[in-house]
Amino acid sequence: MSTSARRPTTTEALRLSEEKFAKAFRISPDAILISSFVDGRIFDANDSFLRITGYTRDEVIGHLTAELGVWRNMNDRAALLAGLQANHGSVRDLEFEFHTRTGRRGIGLVSAHLIEIAGEQCLITISRDITEQKRAAEALSRYAEDLKVRNEELDAFAHTVAHDLKSPLSNIFGFIEWLQTRPDLPDDERHEYIQAIERNAVKMDNIIDELLLLAQVRKAEVELSPIDMARIIAEAQARLAFLIAEKQAVISAPGQWPSTLGHAPWVEEVWVNYLSNAIKYGGQPPRVELGCAEQPDGALRCWVRDNGNGIPLEEQADLFTAFGENSKVRATGHGLGLSIVRTIVEKMGGQVGVESAPGHGSTFYFTLPTTP
């Protein structure tokens, strides 16, 4: 008789197969559940199912799947059953929401198969917790979208800076060239050109200051505190004293201001921007009204109202747009400054806006919180 290895019998082969299945069932990193397809009674669950859901074996075996409440959205379970019927008792990679015994919510990926065990139709589900992967994918998607927006802003930013700096720089070059070709100019006329060069240089310097402020505001995080609004407005008017005198502007403001929160240097920049625009584009002479009112939500709404020509409705939507390329808006002088105002105010938890109609002036406003 041959001494070679004996072939296993059919019974032994089945036993070995069952042992291998049982071992794979126990050590699988996926959550596996075997239940009755008729009433949902659970026959068995592997260690990964218990670990992920937080249930003990006694709380699972013999109980109904509906009692566990693992399915957070019953529409997901209905989709699973519908898929089994439509795909001959098999579903693969169906995404669903689940919650554990402690209430933790997550996202899973389930595959299910209908099988027959001892003459009873059973459902075996194999699930994988993909919560972290899903969150990582969503975070990556948000990052990609944010990066896209920032790239678009950067392109528009380059356009805005080039536009705002090009005009005064061209004027400076033009005046210098004229002075170089006209050595016989009278002293008073030469002085006028030098003053024009100085004004344009100051304009460029202001633009650079605005850009530096914008860079600071976008990165900085400040803690809001009570501010003295009357004092801030006085400081803003002092900075604009030359412009106020040059345009003979008349400015009216309340004697007292309600208590509010903010970051004083930033709030001052908002007032400087609003006031300078109201003076430059107001009537002749400019009449500028400052005011405030408490809002139903508790915020303080501050405004600057001018007596200028007003702004058409179709241009108002682009006024505060960051680095907008709207040529009409740029031509009026509104744009970069108001973009900075919007960034500042939103950083402080407020909002900006404008109310205007052609021939009836403009009211630029911003809100600040009155409580933390």
CATH superfamily entry for domain 14-129: PAS domain (3.30.450.20)
pLDDT score for 14? 66
**pLDDT attached to residue 2:** 47
**In this predicted structure, what is the pLDDT of residue 288?**
96
In angstroms, rounded to a whole number, what is the distance separating the alpha carbons of residues 338 and 12?
83
Q: Give 67's strand partners.
A: none
For domain 221-372, say whether CATH 3.40.50.80 is its number.
Answer: no
Alpha-helical segments (H) within the chain: 10-27, 47-53, 57-60, 65-68, 74-86, 131-181, 187-219, 229-239, 241-247, 264-280, 313-316, 327-332, 336-347
Buried b / exposed e over 192-230, threshold 16 CB at 10 Å, is ebeeebeebeebbeebeebbebbeebeeeeeebeebebe
> What residue ranges of the chain are covered by domains with CATH 1.10.287.130?
131-219
- With a CB cutoff of 8 Å and minimum separation 6, the contacts of 91 are 80, 83, 84, 110, 111, 112, 113
Separation of alpha carbons 155 and 146, rounded Å:
14
Measure the CA–CA gap between 333 and 327, rounded to whole angstroms.
Answer: 10
In angstroms, the CA 370 to CA 63 distance is 55
Distance CA 277, CA 352 (A): 15
> Taking the alpha carbons of 246, 250, 256, 261 in that order, is the dihedral positive or negative?
negative
Closest by alpha carbon to 31, among 44, 21, 18, 41?
44
Instruction: Provide the pLDDT for residue 329.
Output: 40
Quick: pLDDT tens for 277-300.
Answer: 999 998 889 999 999 999 998 899
Name the packing angle between helices 264-280 and 229-239 (round to 10°). Answer: 50
- Measured N-to-C along each axis, helices 264-280 and 336-347 cross at an angle, to the nearest 10 degrees, of 150
Residues 6+ apart with CB under 8 A from 21: none
Out of 1.10.287.130, 3.40.50.300, 1.10.1200.10, 3.30.1360.120, select the CATH number for domain 131-219: 1.10.287.130
Nearest by Cα to 65 from 47, 89, 91, 45 = 45
* Residues facing 116 on adjacent strands: 121
Exposure class string for 350-365: b at 16+ Cβ within 10 A, else e: bebbbebeeeebbbbb
Run means of pLDDT, 10 residues per run, the chain, 372 residues: 56 71 85 88 91 91 84 79 86 88 88 86 90 91 86 67 74 84 83 84 75 68 88 93 91 91 91 93 92 91 93 84 48 60 90 90 93 70
Return the pLDDT at 230. Answer: 94
